[in-house]
Amino acid sequence: MTRDPGPDPNAVRIGSLRWRVVIATREQEPDPDSPGIVETLAEMQSVRADVQPIGALTFYATEQVETPVTHRIIIRWLDWVDTTHVIFRVTKRPDQSNMIERFRVRRVLSIDGRQRFLRMDCELEQRA
């Protein structure tokens, strides 16, 4: 008797790409007026995504991560997304005001190596 291993944890389900998010390139350069850094966002693109909180874990799915990962974001395959990108999601609060979340991309992986979906392990950087 064989045991069913259950659903594939990497499978993307129909309708799961329900959030509209914006992917932007983060460009940083030295501030000429102070010792800090000036950050600009460029090359923005809107896509559909599945955004799932996973908690601030040191080990995630038996993979060791050196930086905190708080969310897993899955989108359709884009070959140009890397760790220099940032993800924005805008949602409505109960009082109808906007809540803007900014996620820093920490790691980018294809799901099952098939180049159909892209999994990004992200850190929630700001919520306003």
Instruction: Report residue 91 CA to chain centroid gap.
Output: 15
DSSP state of 15: T
Task: Parse the chain into domains and list their residue ranges.
Answer: 19-127
Structure confidence by residue, pLDDT tens digits, 69-93? 889 999 999 999 999 999 999 999 9
* CATH code assigned to 19-127: 2.40.10.270
Structure confidence by residue, pLDDT tens digits, 41-70? 888 999 999 999 985 454 555 555 567 888
Q: What pTM was estimated for this model as a whole? A: 0.79
Helices (H) and strands (E) counted in the chain, each on its own, are 0, 6
CA distances to 14, 57, 92, 94, 124 from 105, in Å = 24, 15, 23, 28, 9
